[in-house]
Structure formats: structure tokens, C-alpha cells
Amino acid sequence: MFTKEIAELIKGVSYKHLPSAAIDAAKMAILDCLGVTLAGCNEMSSSIICQYTKRISQSADAGIIGRGFKTSVEQAAWVNGTQAHALDYDDYFALSCLTPYHPTAPILPAVLAVAEKDHLSGRDVLLAYITGFEVEAIIAKVCVRQQYDLGWHTTSTLGSLGAAAAVAKILKLDEEKSRIALGIASSLAGGLRRNFGTMTKPLHAGNAARNGAVAAMLAQSGFTADRDILDSPLSFCEVLSGETKPLAEVPDMNLGVRPEFYIISPGIAFKSYPSCACSHWAIDAALDLKRGNTIAPRDIVDIECRTSSGLPRILVHSRPTTALEGKFSIEFCVAIALIDGEVSLKQFSDRIVRDSAVQELIQKVRYVHPPEMGSGLNNLKGEIVVRLKNGKVYSRRVNIARGDPRNPLNKDEVISKYRDCVSLSLSPEDTDMSLNIISRLESINDITELMDILVFGTARVQ
């Protein structure tokens, strides 16, 4: 039974099973996620959800990153998960057969909330995070493509189960209670792609983090659920996907003997730009054209985005009017790259999206879908073709965007991204201290050493 095997995996893996490469990859993912969470805490969506949480909070067990206060475990997971995904700058993961989903934003906040309340170690956090990551990837292989195509946001649906597995691990639940935690999380899971480009999209990640924490804690307390929720009929995989792959196609799940973990191969993608990953190849191409040629936006007649016909189903805002919509607009991402020669956090503001010069260039960007580009999302690639008034034509094709594990950001680039993200929230001293702690996370005896910096650092800066 699939659910039983997953529960055995959760219970059975120990820190000694973890290759050093998996630990290093996890620390990079944790660093990246904490950085974008601190950047995301400044967003309006974060302010609204924090205000709501303060009104209902009745305990102070776990901290809200960047906000200087504590709340309950489940509320901390909820808010921090939402903040982690607020900018769409957090990591993503995709096997060759899958649509990408965001793994760390749901899993890490749930783990950190429990670990902070119970004063657990950095090693506990790493083990739980990696366990949740691997469980989520295994379940994804069974059902994610169909889920995504049906309109579910898999960061939320799969993330609920990944977070539940991670919290089950850090709470040291036995096999039976881990099965129950998965059963509870499966009924809590949800999130619709229709909400892409709104504040509710990052809320999906927060919901998944809270779902995982609540599910595991309820299971720990004796709450009941179906013990075989991943097995047909009427399973999580079947209902949300419409169908399932034969379980025989699922690879060996034994973390102790598998030669490579998913966190190692294919590995995690770290974003170079704070927008949907489907736009990154186009940003790379546009920036490359801008750097290598004299292209004045006023001289542009037409811009073709030659890509898969499936891309407009994800990048749904062809005429964006807000920063959140701009993150899901290839037209805006290409236009701002050609105008500013950079795509960073500062470009994604309502004011810049609505700027007349930006809106004028957006009107000149259009999709073209050559047959050779296909119709799926397995390979996020494409070609930008720019035509000028003087008849010159410039083009650039990108097959693998920067940040993809096949074209990765190096460690220094991820650290530089972290420093940029936390610059408004942490002092230089706290930034250096947090980097030092994360770099040696496996040796930290109490995770509150890190959380106190991340939660209260903003207050010290102000």
C-alpha cells in the first residue's frame, strides 16, 4: 500500500541516511527561503495577514519572520508560508515529467514553527525538511501533472502533504500516526490556479504549511482519518488528479538505500527573478538582447515570444495592471527587461506596471507557438524576436533559464540574493550572524538562536 510505504519512509529515515550533498542542498534552500520571506514580509498581503493573526492570537509559541511578534504554531506556519511565497521569488522543483511546484515555502515554515516551540535543533530541522521534500516529490510522481492541468495549485495540494510529512517527522510520529497525518492533510489540501496574480496565490503556500502542522499535531493527539488516503479508490491522488499512475511506476522510496535523493538530483531551482518561473527564460533572453545590442524601447515595432502553447495557461495576465499580475505576465517581464536592463524586486510595483512607457511596450509583445516548441511545460524554453523600426531584427533563444539545476546559481549568487532580500529587515550584523548560523545549521542545538534574529531583527533595525 502506497500510504503505508510513505509512512514507513517518514518514520524510518534518520540523519545518518542523509548524504552531505542533501544536507548542503537543504541549507541552500533554507537560506533562500528565509531571505525571500524577509523580503516578502514587506508586502501588503503580509501586512493584512499579520494584522488578522494579531487579532486572533492567544499564544506566543513561534515567531512571525520579520514582524517582531509570536503566535501559535499553526498561525506562524500560515503567516510565514504566505510571506515566503508573497513575491513568487522562492524556489521551485520539477522532475522531467512534472509541472514545477514550490516545495520549501510550505514545508519549512511548518517545520520551523514546531521546532521553535519545542526548542529543537538545526539537525532536527534539516532531517524533517528533507523528509518532507522527498515525500512530496514521490507523491508528485503519481499525480501532479493531472492535478495541475485540472486547475489545482500543486504548491498547495502537494505542499500540504509535504508539510504534514515533515512535521510528522519532527514530532517523531510512529507509522500509524504518520498515515493519519497524511489522511488529515489530504482533506485540508486545496488551492486554485485561477487565483494566480492575486494575494491568494501566496496564501496557498501558507495554507499548505498550516495544513501540515495542524494535520500532524491532530494525529499526535489521537485524531482519526483514513489510513490509506493515497491508495485508490477515492484517494488524494485519484480525486484531485482524475486518474493515477500505476504504483509500480513509483521509484524505490527507501531513503536509506536510494543512491540519490530528489533534493540532489534533479535538485532545486533557485529563482533569479521575482516572477513565475515560466517567465525566466524570456527574461534571460530579453536581458541578453538588451546587453548585447542597441535597442531603444521607442524604436521597437514588435516582440515575438516563440514558445510552448501551454505557457499562456500559466502566464495568464497579458495586460497586467498590478505588480502581482506582472509576475504572471510574459509581456510585462519582457518589456521591463528591455526598458530597464534588469529585473529585480524594485521593478515589481504597481506604479511601474502602470507606467505609460511600460504599458506601451507591453502592447507590442505577442505569443507565437511554433510546433517544435510543443504544448506542454516540461521544458521552460523559448525564443525572443525583436523587430525595430529601421528593419533590424534581433533574436535570442534560451533553452534553460538561469537558476534551473541544469544552469544553476552558484552559492555566492544565492548568498548575494539573500543579502539583497534581507537588506530592509536585518542590520548588517544580524545578516552576517544569520548567514553564519545557517551555514552550520547541523551544529545548532536550539533553532531559536536563528529564529530570534529573523523574527525580531526588523524591530532592532527600526
The yes-or-no verdict on residue 320 having pLDDT over 80 is yes
- Confidence class for position 94, pLDDT limits 50, 70, 90: confident
What average pLDDT does the segment 321-333 reach? 97
Res 282 pLDDT > 50? yes
Tell me how far apart the alpha carbons of residues 447 and 406 are, in angstroms, rounded to a whole number: 32
Q: Examine the pLDDT at 458 and tell me if it is beyond 80.
A: no
Question: Model confidence over 139-196: pLDDT tens digits?
Answer: 988 876 688 888 999 999 999 999 999 999 999 999 999 999 999 999 999 999 999 9
Averaged pLDDT for residues 423-438: 96
The whole-chain average pLDDT of the chain stands at 93
Q: The C-alpha cell of 399 is what? A: 533553452
Which pLDDT band, with edges at 50, 70 and 90, does 100 fall under? confident
Find the range with the poorest average confidence among 3-17, 70-84, 374-388.
374-388
Determine the pLDDT at residue 456: 94
CB 214 within 8 A of CB 207: no
- Is the bond into 233 cis (omega within 30 degrees of 0)? yes
Q: What is the mean pLDDT of residues 332-344?
A: 97
Return the domain boundaries, the chain.
2-271+407-461, 277-398
Candidates 303, 302, 332; CA nearest to 315 is 332
Query: Candidates 2.40.128.50, 1.10.260.40, 1.10.4100.10, 3.40.50.150; correct CATH number of 2-271+407-461?
Result: 1.10.4100.10
**206-223 confidence digits (pLDDT tens):** 999 999 999 999 999 999
38 CB contacts (<8 Å, ≥6 apart)?
65, 66, 421, 422, 425, 426, 454
Which CATH homologous superfamily contains domain 277-398? 2-methylcitrate dehydratase PrpD (3.30.1330.120)
Give the per-residue pLDDT at 73. 97
Q: Which three cell numbers stand for residue 190?
A: 486545496
Mean pLDDT on 406-418: 97
pLDDT band, residue 348 (cuts 50/70/90): very high
pLDDT band per the 50, 70, 90 thresholds, residue 253: low
Place 71 in a pLDDT band, splitting at 50, 70 and 90: very high
What's the pLDDT score for residue 460? Answer: 43
pLDDT at 254: 62
Q: What is the pLDDT of residues 107-133, one digit of tens each?
A: 999 999 999 999 999 999 999 999 999
pLDDT(97) > 80 = no
Using the predicted structure, report yes or no on whether residue 462 has a pLDDT greater than 50. no
User: Is the confidence at residue 259, as pLDDT, over 50?
Assistant: yes
